[in-house]
Amino acid sequence: MELINKERLWGTIHDLAAITNEQQPWTRRSFTAKYNEGREWLINQMREIGLEVEVDEASNVIGRIIGTEPNLPPIVIGSHTDTVPNGGRFDGIAGVLVGLEIVKSLKEQNISIKHTIEIVDFTAEEPSEYGLSTVGSRAWSGNLTEEMLSYTNSDGQSLADAISYAGGNPKEIHKCKKEKDSIALYLELHIEQGPVLLKKNANLGVVTGIVGIQRYKISVDGLPNHAGTTPMDMRNDALTAASEMTLALEKEANDRFEQPVVGTVGVFNNFPNASNVVPGKVEFAVEIRSISEDVIYKVANEFLLKVKSIADKRNVKVMTENISRSKSIVIRDEIKNLLNKSCRSITDKVIELPSGAGHDANQMSLLAPVGMIFIPCKDGRSHCPEEWAEKEDLYLGAKAMINAVLEFSK
């Protein structure tokens, strides 16, 4: 019996991906009109197949099919539909729409399972304009604080206002917090966002663990002055100080540790940003990732010490702000075994691998057992317009996911 409709799944992926910013290909930034439009499309899809639909206080979109034993904790299948700027067609939305295809197929085949299934589009999984990622799943895990809700974008709008715009209710956000073990299992299908599956000629990957992510905002205050009349040895240049700090992060992350680590400066804002003015202020964002909590701590600690040393040496002021922290997780053996069995019932080209990207699963691991299946992406590329997954790989991933749901619910 064929449970997954390959063509229908492929069509829904491209229908949602086509709801995009016309100036930036495949872009649906969280808390924008296009993001809301995409979620309205998703809500309509859920309602068309008879799911109970809810938009919770954190503006997470939830579609629910009640199990035969509704008192059991639900199986949650989820991911996200927001993208990075100039993003791709598969990151996030593949996980949500595979979940949707699973419940469509179960209903069509009149297959009932004990557990209620919830399909969730988590709010703002990607780093948002408010300096925070995994916003919706943070709310479920209780890690979305009042301070975070007060974070602002470049226009001064707060995250709380943005959640309201997306249909949430930040004043009541505590109501969507879940208790530990209130969810039976969290599953997520995702493109790998790397080249390992391709290089090892694998169709599917069972994720063994997910990196932790530490993010900081660094503000460097120097003294703006005339670029022509201020001698080099009399400058308090915020930009050169910030540049040296950036290179210090690169040096720290290149040291040898017991586990791999990466450090990135991906946002860099210079003020007043004029060619004839010595820069007076720079703000930049730092991200450190590793599967090892100890390694993240070592790199972050050494980097922050060097930041202070560089600021003192260059006679500038520096302020460091701890923006967010997602702890690394190790997938439980019983869940890895479940997913390996589900994948290998379809193909023998299955490997195990860790995820170097963060996911909503990081937050969900605080509430329930989590499992992830990776499918390959072309040339290992993601977070760019060229991001691509093959129809057959998406289909195999969906089949493995529905097998896992049925096996777990036994």
> Where do the domains of the chain lie?
6-211+328-409, 212-326
Q: What is the pTM of this model?
A: 0.86
Q: Nearest CA to 401 among 139, 7, 9, 46? A: 9
Give CA–CA dist 316/328, Å, rounded: 34
Q: Residue 324 above 90 pLDDT?
A: no
CATH number of 212-326: 3.30.70.360
Q: Residue 22 above 90 pLDDT?
A: no
Give CA–CA dist 203/56, Å, rounded: 35
Homologous superfamily in CATH for domain 6-211+328-409: Zn peptidases (3.40.630.10)
Residue 398 pLDDT class (50, 70, 90 cuts): very high
Q: Nearest CA to 66 among 121, 98, 112? A: 112
Between 93-108 and 391-409, two packed helices, what is the crossing angle to 10 degrees? 60
Kindly state the percentage of the chain with pLDDT values over 70: 100
Cis peptide before 272 (omega within 30 of 0): yes
- Main-chain dihedrals φ then ψ at residue 142, nearest 5 degrees: 85, 15
Q: Residue 1 above 80 pLDDT?
A: no
What pLDDT, on a 0 to 100 scale, did the predictor assign at position 119? 98
Q: Nearest CA to 375 among 120, 189, 125? A: 189
Buried b vs exposed e over 238-256: b needs ≥16 C-beta within 10 Å? bbbbbbbbbebbeebbeee
What pLDDT, on a 0 to 100 scale, did the predictor assign at position 290? 95
Q: Residue 347 above 90 pLDDT?
A: yes
How much is the average pLDDT of 261-276? Answer: 96
Asked if 305 contacts 250 with a C-beta cutoff of 8 angstroms, the reply is no
Residue 327 pLDDT class (50, 70, 90 cuts): confident
Give CA–CA dist 314/245, Å, rounded: 11
Q: Residue 48 above 90 pLDDT?
A: yes
What pLDDT, on a 0 to 100 scale, did the predictor assign at position 21? 85
Residue 326 pLDDT class (50, 70, 90 cuts): confident
What pLDDT, on a 0 to 100 scale, did the predictor assign at position 337? 98
Return all residues near 229 (Cβ < 8 A) that are at least 6 apart: none
Give CA–CA dist 75/340, Å, rounded: 18
Q: Residue 115 above 90 pLDDT?
A: yes
Give CA–CA dist 77/182, Å, rounded: 14
The 10s digit of each residue's pLDDT in 213-240 is 999 999 999 999 999 999 999 999 999 9
> What is the overall mean pLDDT for the chain?
96
Q: Residue 2 above 90 pLDDT?
A: no
